[in-house]
């Protein structure tokens, strides 16, 4: 029997992440604070890369990176989620793939080609909302819809083995103080497990969520951002995963861009058609090409793909369908990933929306434009070296040299 060939990591394998964008300031931060964030970003990149280097799915790599940040109270997702105006945490997450996964075939029904992604919102007990989104995406027999919410979504998540926790798990002192001060209220009283809403028995988390342990101080006050990851695996699949606690003191029940397909996240693959054939002067382009005065479209007939995860003021991302607009610029205008992402981020700012996007195409090109002072961001390529940055003017910093 012939031996199975060892797995070879594709040269385009890439993982790009963000940990939120907003008004963080270098002047108001310390080197120690900045290092803690950079180290956390590097940890998330390594977690995702460990999946990719073993031949794993882009989806699983992106979830590994995002769940690492969900477990870190520095970021506005999972454990570090902000509070709404009622002092509650309402979490959101999403997942989308450019093509169906090749593994996870042990599930009753494999996701069909048309099942592009799934999102969940108004979660109050899911320890890792990104894992919930993946688990429900993989179960079209249980969840045929692309968008689910609230208690029933969490009931389904528990049924497929995802961990639920008491709402008090999400408490962090820094986020609580932002919530109270944003409403003009004193810091106290603090919530407690005894006064936590819907206090019932959930999976044990080892008690870490029920201790007022000292936590590092977040750089970004009153965050509106998210965490996200976009991964490209060795078979050319791109997956985008995004997770958030939303906006500090948002109205109860408010739904942001993170679970809105096309607004805060997107992944897609298409066969590129001629760009010039879509406009009224196509005849002129064709004539010039026949005369040798213009070259044929180098992208025509090529399979292209893209994945996008956004962060910032989600209301503007919804109004502009920011994430899917990146793909439309690439497909319909023939733009590069860099040009398309920079255009949509500029469009956000023109309407008053701050934030940024991370994006990745099928050739491993990465874009991370932002229109605000900072965005926690990082990338790891096939060489396995995590590189990160925080402020807009920063270049990527090699964390393996630290």
Catalytic residues, by residue number, are 226
Q: Please tell me whether 258 is known to bind a ligand.
A: no
Q: Please tell me whether 313 is known to bind a ligand.
A: yes
Q: Please tell me whether 201 is known to bind a ligand.
A: no
Report CA dihedral (139, 140, 146, 150) to the nearest 10 degrees.
-50
Count of C-beta atoms within a 10 Å radius of residue 159: 12
CA distance 369 to 265: 15
Q: Please tell me whether 255 is known to bind a ligand.
A: yes
Q: Please tell me whether 20 is known to bind a ligand.
A: no
CA contacts within 13 A on the Cβ side of 334? 14
Q: Please tell me whether 287 is known to bind a ligand.
A: no
Q: Please tell me whether 380 is known to bind a ligand.
A: no
- DSSP assignment letter at 167: G
Q: Please tell me whether 236 is known to bind a ligand.
A: no
CA distance 383 to 402: 17
Burial class (CB in 10 A: 0-12, 13-18, 19+), 297: middle
Question: What order of strands is seen across the sheet that includes strand 397-398?
Answer: 147-149, 117-123, 91-97, 238-244, 227-232, 14-22, 374-380, 386-391, 397-398
Backbone φ and ψ for 348, nearest 5 degrees, come out as -60, -50
CA distance 53 to 18: 20
Binding residue ranges for substrate: 254-257, 311-314
């Amino acid at each position: 029997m012939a031996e199975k060939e060892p797995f070879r990591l594709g040269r385009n394998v890439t993982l790009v992440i963000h940990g939120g964008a907003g008004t963080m300031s270098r002047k108001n931060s310390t080197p120690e604070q900045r290092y803690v964030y950079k180290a956390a970003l590097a940890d998330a990149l390594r977690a995702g890369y460990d999946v990719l280097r073993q031949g794993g799915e882009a989806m699983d790599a992106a979830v590994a990176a995002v769940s690492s940040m969900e477990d870190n109270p520095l970021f506005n997702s999972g454990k570090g989620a902000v509070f709404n105006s009622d002092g509650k945490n309402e979490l959101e997450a999403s997942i989308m793939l450019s093509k169906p996964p090749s593994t996870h075939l042990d599930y009753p029904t494999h996701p069909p080609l048309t099942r592009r992604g799934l999102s969940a919102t108004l979660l109050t007990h899911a320890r890792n909302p990104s894992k919930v989104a993946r688990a429900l995406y993989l179960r079209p027999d249980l969840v045929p819809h692309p968008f689910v919410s609230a208690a029933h979504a969490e009931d389904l998540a528990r049924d497929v083995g995802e961990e639920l926790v008491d709402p008090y798990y999400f408490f962090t002192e820094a986020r609580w103080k932002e919530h109270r001060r944003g409403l003009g209220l004193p810091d106290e009283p603090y919530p407690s497990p005894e006064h936590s809403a819907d206090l019932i028995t959930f999976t044990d988390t080892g008690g870490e969520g029920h201790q007022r342990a000292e936590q590092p101080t977040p750089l970004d006050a009153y965050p509106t951002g998210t965490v996200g990851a976009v991964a490209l695996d060795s078979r050319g699949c791109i997956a985008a995963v995004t997770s958030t606690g939303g906006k500090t003191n948002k109205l109860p029940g408010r739904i942001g861009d993170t679970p809105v397909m096309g607004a805060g996240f997107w992944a897609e693959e298409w066969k590129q058609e001629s760009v010039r054939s879509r406009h009224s002067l196509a005849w002129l382009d064709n004539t010039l090409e026949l005369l040798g005065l213009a070259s044929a479209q180098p992208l025509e007939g090529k399979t292209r793909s893209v994945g996008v995860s956004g962060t910032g003021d989600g209301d503007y991302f919804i109004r502009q369908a920011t994430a899917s607009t990146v793909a439309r610029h690439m497909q319909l205008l023939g733009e590069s990933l860099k040009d398309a992402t920079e255009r949509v981020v500029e469009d956000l700012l023109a309407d008053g929306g701050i934030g940024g996007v991370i994006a990745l195409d099928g050739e491993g090109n990465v874009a991370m434009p932002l229109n605000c002072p900072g965005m926690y961001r990082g990338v790891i390529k096939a060489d396995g070296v995590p590189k990160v940055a925080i402020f807009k003017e920063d270049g990527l910093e090699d964390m393996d040299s630290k």
